[in-house]
A and B are shown apart, each in its own frame.
Chain A
């Protein structure tokens, strides 16, 4: 049985917020956050079971993040400046790491974010991304390798 939507929000707000903070530009985080839960609420009564709700809402969040990047590309914008490696915001947020993650090819970015931000297991990542578990591991490995190049 599906939990009341309020409990679904309470259980998942934090994971969704963290994923979006990693994947979106700062100005888009809150919009995507709202859009994620509004879309989830529309689809919610059609769900046929309550398994993997977190993975489900994280895929919606991820799609919203991608939409926000696409929308930015359509409106001409100053390109995102590579943040100063040393610059961290007061709350310890490290923009350089996430800019590098955003720069990864789609599958690697998804896999890395699901693994390290959302703490999903490889099994869940493979399910969310519609790949094999081995492919999920491979995407994380490749992603990390690229990040090593960008960030060191």
Chain B
């Protein structure tokens, strides 16, 4: 008898693709965090949004690493839900095509606190085509002498590009660093017209 059941159990099948899609449509609405990959001229990024807005954009190639970190830091209810990040994808596309100068996305600052948050909020106000310096960002955050700490805050920016840490340079005009690598920083500043094309 157990053989008959085991044989029958082998034929119970798998949930088909359309079944999984309908499940994920319902799950996506209620999940705390939705993520997807976004293709750009600078590579494939992982973006994640909470119910409040864009919470993370990562240059990390493996989305699993990003998703694990989000589950640990914010909520384990993280799901792959491309539709919930459609606005983000569209605005990034437009930005990379040079058609968008300001992002209209709602942001969720949950991943940053205190001084770091102040630095990034100041960074968020640097206009397209403009640049600023690490010490200016430190001053805006209320600690004029904390340029190095401001640099750290920028290096750990959870929402690069949208929060434009690439617009922050050394006071002597040197480019400083960038989480996505210096070539990307140059590329972005050139796109925005802040650097001359080479």
Give the docked Cα–Cα distance between A87 and B10 (Å): 17
Contact A5 B78 (CB under 8 A): yes
Q: Classify the secondary structure of B's interface with A.
A: helix
Contact A148 B1 (CB under 8 A): yes
B90 adjacent to chain A (CB < 8 Å): no
Contact A18 B13 (CB under 8 A): yes
Chain A, 71-89, CB within 8 A of any chain B CB: 88
Give the docked Cα–Cα distance between A147 and B8 (Å): 13
Chain A, 1-50, CB within 8 A of any chain B CB: 1-7, 9, 13-14, 17-18, 21-22, 30, 33-34, 37-38, 41, 44-45
Contact A13 B20 (CB under 8 A): yes
Chain A residues with Cβ below 8 Å from B77 are 5, 41, 44-45
Given contacts A17-B14, A21-B12, A93-B13, contact A3 B5 (CB under 8 A): no
B71 adjacent to chain A (CB < 8 Å): yes
Contact A14 B75 (CB under 8 A): no
Give the docked Cα–Cα distance between A108 and B133 (Å): 71
Question: Quick one: closest A residue to B14, CB to CB?
Answer: A14
Contact B68 A4 (CB under 8 A): yes
Chain A min CB distance to B65 (Å): 11
Contact A3 B12 (CB under 8 A): no
Chain B residues touching A, range: 20 to 34
A112 adjacent to chain B (CB < 8 Å): yes
Chain B min CB distance to A25 (Å): 14
Give the docked Cα–Cα distance between A64 and B97 (Å): 49
Q: Which of B13, B23, B70, B79 contacts A91 (CB 8 A)?
A: B13
Encode A102-139 as 1/0 by CB contact (under 8 A) with B: 00000000001000110000000000000000000000
Contact A9 B13 (CB under 8 A): no
Encode B8-40 as 1/0 by CB contact (under 8 A) with A: 111111110001101110110011000000000
Contact B30 A98 (CB under 8 A): no
Q: Which of B7, B12, B19, B79 contacts A9 (CB 8 A)?
A: B79
Give the docked Cα–Cα distance between A45 and B80 (Å): 17
Q: Which of B1, B8, B27, B70 contacts A37 (CB 8 A)?
A: B27
Chain A residues with Cβ below 8 Å from B8 are 94, 97-98
B72 adjacent to chain A (CB < 8 Å): yes
B67 adjacent to chain A (CB < 8 Å): yes
Q: Which of B7, B15, B70, B72 contacts A13 (CB 8 A)?
A: B15
Give the docked Cα–Cα distance between A116 and B1 (Å): 11
Contact B27 A18 (CB under 8 A): no
Contact B1 A4 (CB under 8 A): no
Contact A38 B80 (CB under 8 A): no
Given contacts A22-B12, A101-B5, contact A34 B75 (CB under 8 A): no
Given contact pairs A22-B12, A91-B11, A116-B6, a sample of 9 additional A-B residue pairs in the complex whose CB atoms are under 8 Å apart: A18-B13, A33-B15, A34-B26, A44-B77, A93-B11, A94-B7, A94-B11, A116-B9, A117-B12
